[in-house]
A and B are shown apart, each in its own frame.
Chain A
Amino acid sequence: MTRLASGGRIDRTRPLHFSFDGRAYTGYAGDTLASALLANGVHLVGRSFKYHRPRGIFSAGVEEPNALVEIDRGPGQREPNVRATVVPLVEGLVARSQNRWPSLRFDLAAAAGLASSVLGAGFYYKTFLGPGRDAWHKRWEPLIRRMAGLGRAPEAPDPERYANRYAHAEVLVVGAGPAGIAAALRAAESGARVVLCDEQAEFGGSLLAEPDAWPQLAADIARLRANPLVTLLPRTTAFSYGLQNFVALAQVIEAANGLRERLWQLRAGRVVLATGALERPIPFSGNDRPGVMLADAARQYVLRWGVLPGRNIAALVAHDTGYAAAFALQDAGAAVAAVLEMRATAPAALLTEAVRRGIRVLPNHGIAGTRGGHRITGLLAAPRNGDGAPDASRATPVACDLLLMAGGWTPSVHLFSQARGRLVWDSALDAFLPGKAREAVTCAGACAGEGLTPGLPVTLLAAGSARAPKAFIDPQNDVTTRDIALAVREGFRSIEHVKRYTTNGMATDQGKTSNMLGLAVVAGELGRSVPEVGLTTFRAPYTPTSFGAFAGRHRGLLFDPVRTAPLHDWAVGQGALFEPVGQWQRARAFPQAGEDMLAAVARECLAVRNAVGIFDASTLGKIEVTGPDAALFLERCYVNAWQKLGIGRCRYGLLLREDGFIYDDGVVGRIAADRFHLTTTTGGAARVLHMLEDYRQTEFPELQVWLTSTTEHWGVIALQGPRARDVLTPLVEGLDWADFPHMAVAECRVAGVPARLFRVSFSGELGFEVNVPASQGPAVWQALLRSGTPHGITPYGTETMHVLRAEKGFIIVGQETDGTVTPDDAGLTWLIGKAKTDFIGKRSLVRPEMLRPDRRQLVGLVPRDRSTLPDEGAQLIASAASRVAEGHVTSAYRSATVGHPIALGLLAAGRARLGETIFATNLSGPATPMEVVAPCFVDPKGERLRG
C-alpha cells in the first residue's frame, strides 16, 4: 500500500469499496478514483488511442489526458472516457480500463506494434487522398475501426434525468481556489447575488494541497455558505462563455432520485475568472510511461489525498515548483534518486535546500530515455547539448518508480478567450495572459498570471526534442514532437493547420497540456517566437459535457410540446390512429374492428358523401380581426374583395407574400361591420398572425384595426354530408335557417352553448363548422353524435378530410403549393378582386415570369389503368423514357367515391393539356401513364354543397 498513515483530506474512518477491471479495491471518502488507484499501487490504467501504449495517471485534475476509464453505474449509465482524476470515489464504484484487448496488461495490438508503424502524422489524410484509397477500404478501415476509438458508447437508454436552471447573478465567480474564494467573499459583502462554482467536489483549488491553509479555508467557505445571497456550486464546470456574460455551467448532482446533472444558463453582471493554471509537461523520449507524472500532481496526491505515488522518485525540473514537489514526496517518505535541472543552474536557495536534504541535483540535464513496461523503472539522465537535446552518449541510468515533470505553468485562459477577450503574450512570464476584455469580466489569481513565476521558457523546454523518438506532447491523441516536426517539414505553417494535420490538442482534453508544447515545437522548427506562431482557438466546452445536460428534460414525451385539440381524449378512447401535424396530434382515421386504415378511410369517405360525417377541425388557425378599419385592412392584405362582404357572410380568402406566391388560405366570416372571424391553415396559424401583425404595425399604422388569436379559444366541429342539416337543426337555437346559404356565418346557440356557426364545406357536401368555446367542445360533440345517430353520423379523421377535398380539387397550402405557386397556377384567379388597386403580392403577379403560359398549373390526374396509385411527389414526364420533369404529383389517394385512384398535380401548361397522357415516375417500376383531367372529380357544378 502506498497510502500514508496520516495526512490528507480523506476520511480514513469511511472506507469505500470499488472495483477496477474486476478487481476489488478499497479507498476512502474524499478520494478520487485516481487517488484511490494510486493508493492501491495501480499506475497502469489504460491504453493509448492510436498506439495502445500503456498509460498511467498523469495529473490530478481536469487536464488528465491518460487515465480515461469507463464508469459503469448500470444499464444505460455506462459512461466512457471519464477522467479518473475527477471522479469522486463512491461506494460500489465500478470502473474499467479502455482500448485494450485481451487485457490491460497484455494488449495484442501494442505487442504486435500494429499501429505505431503506420499511424504517423497525417496518416488519415494521406490514406484517404493518396493512391492507397482501395487499401483504405479493404485493409485499413476495417483494422482501424476495430482498433481505434476510445471507449464504448452505452447501448441502453439513459434512465436518469437532467435538469435546467436559468439564473441571474450580479457576480459569477468561476473557480473556488484562493483567488475565487477571495473574490466571492468581497462580492458577497456588497450585498450582491454571487454564484461560486468549481469543477471539483471540494472547494479550495490549490489550497486543498496546503494543509496550513485548511482552517482558514473552512472558515471562508462557512462564511460564504451562511450568506443567503451566495450560491455555492461544487462539481460544476463553467464550460461555455457566451455573449453578454451568458455562461453555461454543467453541474453534476447524481441524486438518489435519478437526477444526474443540471445545466445552468446564467447571466452575470460581472464574471470573475479564477480558473488557475495548469502545469506543463516536458517532451522527452518515453515520457508517457505509467509513473511519469506532473510534479504538482504528485505533490497533491501526497498532501491532499495522503497517497505516496512512488517510493524512489526522480524529477525533471524546469521550474522552481518542481522542488516543492520533490521535497513533499521526500517528506512523506520517498527517496529522491535525482533531480534533473534543465536550466543551467538551479536557483541557489533551492539548491541549498536540496543539498541539505541530501538530494542530488544534476544541472543542465535532460532525459535521453526511460525504461519500464507497465510502470517506469528508470531513466537515462543526460547532459543537454547546445541545442537543448540530451546527449545520449553521456547518459547515466537512474533507477526510479516515479518521475516528476515540472515544466512551468500555463494560465487557464480558455473561458476568457471564449468570451472573445484578447490574449497577450507575456514574455517575462512566458505565457499567454488575459488582455483587453470584451465582456464585463475580471481575471484573478493564477489565470491572470498572479503569483506565477517564470521557469525555463517553453521553447527551450521543447528545444532538442523534435528528433527524439516517442516524445509525446499529446498523450491522449498519441501526438509526438516528431509528428509536429514532420507536419512543419511537409509545409504546414499555420498552427491551426498543424493542429488539424497532427490532431494535436484535438482530443477530449482539448490540448490543456499539449497546446503550448505544440506551439513551442512549431516555433522551434520555424525559427519563430511563440506569439508569432499564434494560438489555436479555445472553444466550448471547456471539458467534456454530457449530451444529457444539453437535452435536459426535452426527451421522450417532453422532447417537443405535443398539442392536442379538445376532442383528443375522445378520439383516443375510440382507438383513432393519429398523425403529427406540426406540434399537433390529429386523429387520422377511426378504424373499426377488422379495418385497416385504407378500409376505414373508404368507409368514412362514403359516409360523408352519402350521409354525414363529424370531424374535429379545432386546430385551424383563427384570428379575430376587429376595428372600424378591419375590412380595409383585409382588403389590403388578402387578394379578395372584402368591403362589400355582407355581415353574416363568408368568403374563401387567399393570402400571398410580396413575391406573389400563395402563403395561406382560409375562410373569413364577417361577424359585424367591424369584426371578422378569420381562419388560417393549421400550420400557418402563428406565421399568418405574425405577418398580419407586422403589416398592421409597420405598413398600416393609420388603420384602426386589431388582431387577436382565437385559435385556442374555439373548438371547431365540422359536420359534412347531405344529412348535416338534419343533425344540426334540433340543436340550434337563434338561427334564421331561411337566411343561411352556403358561405354564411351566424352567432347562435348549438346544444345550448353560444356558438359561431359557419356554413362552409371542405368536402363538397353540405357542410357546417360549429365553433364553440374549446372547453365546451366535448359536450357539443356528444350532443351532435347523439343527434346524428339516426342519420348514420360517422367520425372521420384527417386522411378522409384530405381525400374528400382532393376529390373536389381543393388545394392544401403546403401540399399543392410549395412557395412557388401563384393564384393562377392553382386555378384561383377568380378569387382576386378585379377592382382592387393593391394587395400584398399584387405587383409581383404581373412580372413576365409569372405570366408565362408554360407555368406549372394545377390539374387532375387519373391512372390510365384506373388502378395504379401514383406516389405523391412523383415527377411528371412526357413519355415513360423521358428524363425531363414537366411537373409533379402533389396529392394522390384511392377514392372510394370515384372508384379508382385520383391525383392532383402541377403540370407545365397543364390546363391546356386536358385529355393528354402524362407519366408519373415510379421508384419501384415503370412510369405510370396518367390521364390529365380537370382538377375536380365529384360534383363539378357544386350543386351538392348548396343543397
Chain B
Amino acid sequence: MVELRELPPFRCTLLQASAEVAATLGHRLPAPLTATDAMLWLGPEEWLLLEDVVPPSGPASLVDVSDRYRALAVRGAGAPALLNEGCPLDLADAAFPTGHCARTVFGKAEVILWRPGADEWRILVARSFAPYLLALLHEALADLTAT
C-alpha cells in the first residue's frame, strides 16, 4: 500500500557557500546526494536548510525560500513504484538508500526527492507545479492500487 499526502507549510532557507563556511552553522553537513533531518544537499556548495539558522561566518548566500515549495509525503513499500511513474531514477535500496536526496523530475515537473526512512519519501515541488504534480500522482496512485 502507498499513502500520499501533502505536508503543512514549513520554513526553509537556501544556503550557498563553501563547505568550510557552511560548516560554521554547527550542523553536520550532509554528504553529496544525501539529506539529514536539518539539511538537504542540493548540489555543490548548495543546501536547503529545514530549520531556522543564524548566518554562517564568512561569505555565503542565505535566501528564505519557504514559500517556493509545497511538500508531499509518500509512504509505503510500494512508494518506488508510484514514484517511478514519473521519476526516471533508480529508487531501489542499493541505488537510492535511506537518507538519499536528489534533484530530479516527476513527469514534466522538477522536484527534490529524498528518503528520510526506508518506506518514507518526501517530495518538494515548486508551488505553481503542485496542482499538476498532485493530479498526476493521484491518478497514478489509483491505478497502482487497482492493478
Chain A: residues with CB nearer than 8 A to chain B? Answer: 161, 163-168, 193, 253, 255-257, 259, 265, 267, 553-554, 557-558, 560-566, 584, 624, 626-628, 704, 706, 708-715, 773-776
Task: Given A554-B108, A558-B139, A713-B64, decide whether A165 and B85 contact each other with a Cβ distance below 8 A.
Answer: yes
From B59, B84, B108, A561 is in contact (CB under 8 Å) with B108
Q: CB-defined interface of B130-147 with A at 8 Å, one 1/0 digit per residue?
A: 011101100110110011
Question: In the bound complex, how far is the Cα of B126 from the Cα of A899, in angstroms?
Answer: 43
Looking across the interface, which residue of chain A has its beta carbon closest to that of B144?
A163
Question: In the bound complex, how far is the Cα of B143 from the Cα of A259, in angstroms?
Answer: 7
Task: Given A161-B139, A267-B90, A626-B61, decide whether A712 and B69 contact each other with a Cβ distance below 8 A.
Answer: yes
Residues 98-147 of B contacting A (Cβ, < 8 Å)? 107-109, 126-129, 131-133, 135-136, 139-140, 142-143, 146-147
Q: Check: B95 CB closer than 8 A to any chain A CB.
A: yes
* Shortest distance between the CB of B147 and any CB in chain A (Å): 5
Question: In the bound complex, how far is the Cα of B85 from the Cα of A163, in angstroms?
Answer: 7
Q: Which residues of A contact B109 (CB under 8 A)?
A: 561
Task: Given A164-B85, A628-B59, A706-B16, decide whether A775 and B67 contact each other with a Cβ distance below 8 A.
Answer: yes
Question: In the bound complex, how far is the Cα of B135 from the Cα of A168, in angstroms?
Answer: 25
List, sorted by A's number, 16 A–B pairs whose CB atoms are closer than 8 Å.
Answer: A161-B139, A255-B143, A256-B146, A259-B143, A554-B107, A558-B132, A626-B61, A626-B62, A626-B63, A704-B59, A713-B68, A715-B67, A773-B66, A773-B67, A774-B68, A775-B9
Contact, CB under 8 Å: A161 / B68 = no
* Shortest distance between the CB of A731 and any CB in chain B (Å): 20
Q: Which residues of A contact B140 (CB under 8 A)?
A: 163, 553
Q: Check: B56 CB closer than 8 A to any chain A CB.
A: no
Task: Given A168-B92, A712-B126, decide whether A257 and B131 contact each other with a Cβ distance below 8 A.
Answer: no
Task: Given A259-B143, A712-B67, A773-B67, decide whether A562 and B132 contact each other with a Cβ distance below 8 A.
Answer: yes
Q: Which residues of A contact B7 (CB under 8 A)?
A: none
Q: Which residues of B contact A710 (CB under 8 A)?
A: 63, 65, 68
Q: Which residues of A contact B74 (CB under 8 A)?
A: none
Contact, CB under 8 Å: A561 / B63 = no
Q: CB-defined interface of B69-111 with A at 8 Å, one 1/0 digit per residue?
A: 1000000000001001111111010010000000000011100
Q: Which residues of A contact B4 (CB under 8 A)?
A: none
From A168, A706, A712, B127 is in contact (CB under 8 Å) with A712
Question: In the bound complex, how far is the Cα of B146 from the Cα of A711, in angstroms?
Answer: 38
From A253, A255, A558, A708, B136 is in contact (CB under 8 Å) with A558
Interface residues of chain B: helix, strand, loop or mixed (majority): mixed
Question: In the bound complex, how far is the Cα of B90 from the Cα of A775, in angstroms?
Answer: 33
* Shortest distance between the CB of A769 and any CB in chain B (Å): 16
Q: CB-defined interface of B1-34 with A at 8 Å, one 1/0 digit per residue?
A: 0000000010000101000000000000000000
Contact, CB under 8 Å: B143 / A627 = no
Contact, CB under 8 Å: B131 / A564 = yes
Looking across the interface, which residue of chain B has its beta carbon closest to that of A629?
B59
Question: In the bound complex, how far is the Cα of B64 from the Cα of A706, in angstroms?
Answer: 14
From B88, B131, B147, A255 is in contact (CB under 8 Å) with B147
Contact, CB under 8 Å: B107 / A712 = no
From B62, B63, B84, A165 is in contact (CB under 8 Å) with B84
From B89, B108, B128, A560 is in contact (CB under 8 Å) with B108
* Shortest distance between the CB of A233 and any CB in chain B (Å): 12
Contact, CB under 8 Å: B107 / A553 = yes
Question: In the bound complex, how far is the Cα of B90 from the Cα of A265, in angstroms?
Answer: 12
Q: Which residues of B contact A560 (CB under 8 A)?
A: 108
Looking across the interface, which residue of chain A has its beta carbon closest to that of B66?
A773
Contact, CB under 8 Å: B90 / A708 = no
* Shortest distance between the CB of A261 and any CB in chain B (Å): 11
Looking across the interface, which residue of chain A has its beta carbon closest to that of B46?
A706
Q: Which residues of B contact A709 (CB under 8 A)?
A: 68
Question: In the bound complex, how far is the Cα of B62 from the Cα of A710, in angstroms?
Answer: 12
Question: In the bound complex, how far is the Cα of B139 from the Cα of A859, in angstroms?
Answer: 51
Q: Which residues of A contact B95 (CB under 8 A)?
A: 168
Contact, CB under 8 Å: B63 / A624 = yes
Task: Given A560-B108, A561-B132, A628-B59, decide whether A259 and B67 contact each other with a Cβ distance below 8 A.
Answer: no
Contact, CB under 8 Å: A265 / B88 = yes
* Shortest distance between the CB of B80 and any CB in chain A (Å): 10
Q: Which residues of B contact A711 (CB under 8 A)?
A: 68
Contact, CB under 8 Å: A774 / B132 = no
Q: Which residues of B contact A168 (CB under 8 A)?
A: 90, 92, 95
Question: In the bound complex, how far is the Cα of B8 from the Cα of A736, in angstroms?
Answer: 35
Question: In the bound complex, how far is the Cα of B4 from the Cα of A191, in angstroms?
Answer: 31
* Shortest distance between the CB of A397 and any CB in chain B (Å): 56
Question: In the bound complex, how far is the Cα of B67 from the Cα of A776, in angstroms?
Answer: 9
Question: In the bound complex, how far is the Cα of B89 from the Cα of A267, in angstroms?
Answer: 10
Contact, CB under 8 Å: A627 / B61 = yes
Looking across the interface, which residue of chain A has its beta carbon closest to that of B90?
A168
Contact, CB under 8 Å: A565 / B128 = yes
Q: Which residues of B contact A708 (CB under 8 A)?
A: 14, 16, 61, 63, 65
* Shortest distance between the CB of B132 and any CB in chain A (Å): 4
Q: Which residues of A contact B85 (CB under 8 A)?
A: 163-166, 553
Q: Which residues of B contact A626 (CB under 8 A)?
A: 16, 61-63
Looking across the interface, which residue of chain B has its beta carbon closest to that of A193?
B92
Question: In the bound complex, how far is the Cα of B80 from the Cα of A530, in angstroms?
Answer: 49
Q: Given known contacts A558-B136, A706-B16, what 4 new A-B pairs fall within 8 Å (CB)?
A: A553-B136, A554-B108, A704-B59, A773-B66
* Shortest distance between the CB of B92 and any CB in chain A (Å): 7
Contact, CB under 8 Å: A553 / B84 = no
Q: Which residues of B contact A566 (CB under 8 A)?
A: 127
Task: Given A163-B140, A706-B61, A708-B14, decide whether A257 and B92 contact each other with a Cβ distance below 8 A.
Answer: no
Question: In the bound complex, how far is the Cα of B130 from the Cα of A689, in angstroms?
Answer: 21
Contact, CB under 8 Å: B107 / A627 = no
Q: Which residues of A contact B89 (CB under 8 A)?
A: 166
Q: Which residues of A contact B107 (CB under 8 A)?
A: 553-554, 558, 561
3 closest A-B pairs by beta carbon, nearest first, are: A706-B61, A563-B128, A168-B90
Looking across the interface, which residue of chain A has its beta carbon closest to that of B14?
A708
Q: Which residues of B contact A267 (CB under 8 A)?
A: 90
* Shortest distance between the CB of B142 and any CB in chain A (Å): 7
Contact, CB under 8 Å: B127 / A257 = no
* Shortest distance between the CB of A879 and any CB in chain B (Å): 49
Question: In the bound complex, how far is the Cα of B143 from the Cα of A253, in angstroms?
Answer: 11
- Which of A558, A560, A713 is the most central at the interface, judged by chain B CB atoms within 10 Å of its CB? A713
Q: Which residues of A contact B135 (CB under 8 A)?
A: 557-558
Q: Which residues of B contact A193 (CB under 8 A)?
A: 92
Q: Which residues of A contact B66 (CB under 8 A)?
A: 713, 773
- Which of B67, B129, B133 is the most central at the interface, judged by chain A CB atoms within 10 Å of its CB? B67
From A166, A564, A627, A714, B87 is in contact (CB under 8 Å) with A166
Contact, CB under 8 Å: A166 / B88 = yes
Residues 40-60 of B contacting A (Cβ, < 8 Å)? 59
Contact, CB under 8 Å: A553 / B139 = yes
Contact, CB under 8 Å: B81 / A165 = yes
Question: In the bound complex, how far is the Cα of B87 from the Cα of A495, in angstroms?
Answer: 42
Q: Which residues of B contact A563 (CB under 8 A)?
A: 128-129, 132
Looking across the interface, which residue of chain B has its beta carbon closest to that of A619?
B128
Task: Given A554-B108, A713-B68, decide whether A774 and B84 contact each other with a Cβ distance below 8 A.
Answer: no
Q: Which residues of B contact A776 (CB under 8 A)?
A: 67
Question: In the bound complex, how far is the Cα of B60 from the Cα of A628, in angstroms?
Answer: 9
Q: Which residues of B contact A257 (CB under 8 A)?
A: 142-143, 146-147
Q: Which residues of A contact B63 (CB under 8 A)?
A: 624, 626, 708, 710
Q: Which residues of A contact B127 (CB under 8 A)?
A: 566, 712, 774
From B68, B132, B139, A712 is in contact (CB under 8 Å) with B68
Question: In the bound complex, how far is the Cα of B68 from the Cα of A712, in angstroms?
Answer: 5
* Shortest distance between the CB of B137 and any CB in chain A (Å): 10
Question: In the bound complex, how far is the Cα of B139 from the Cα of A161, in angstroms?
Answer: 9
Contact, CB under 8 Å: B128 / A584 = yes
Looking across the interface, which residue of chain A has its beta carbon closest to that of B145?
A257
Looking across the interface, which residue of chain A has its beta carbon closest to that of B84?
A166
* Shortest distance between the CB of B130 and any CB in chain A (Å): 9
Question: In the bound complex, how far is the Cα of B65 from the Cα of A704, in angstroms?
Answer: 20
Question: In the bound complex, how far is the Cα of B69 from the Cα of A563, in angstroms?
Answer: 13
Q: Which residues of B contact A712 (CB under 8 A)?
A: 67-69, 126-128
Question: In the bound complex, how far is the Cα of B80 from the Cα of A168, in angstroms?
Answer: 11
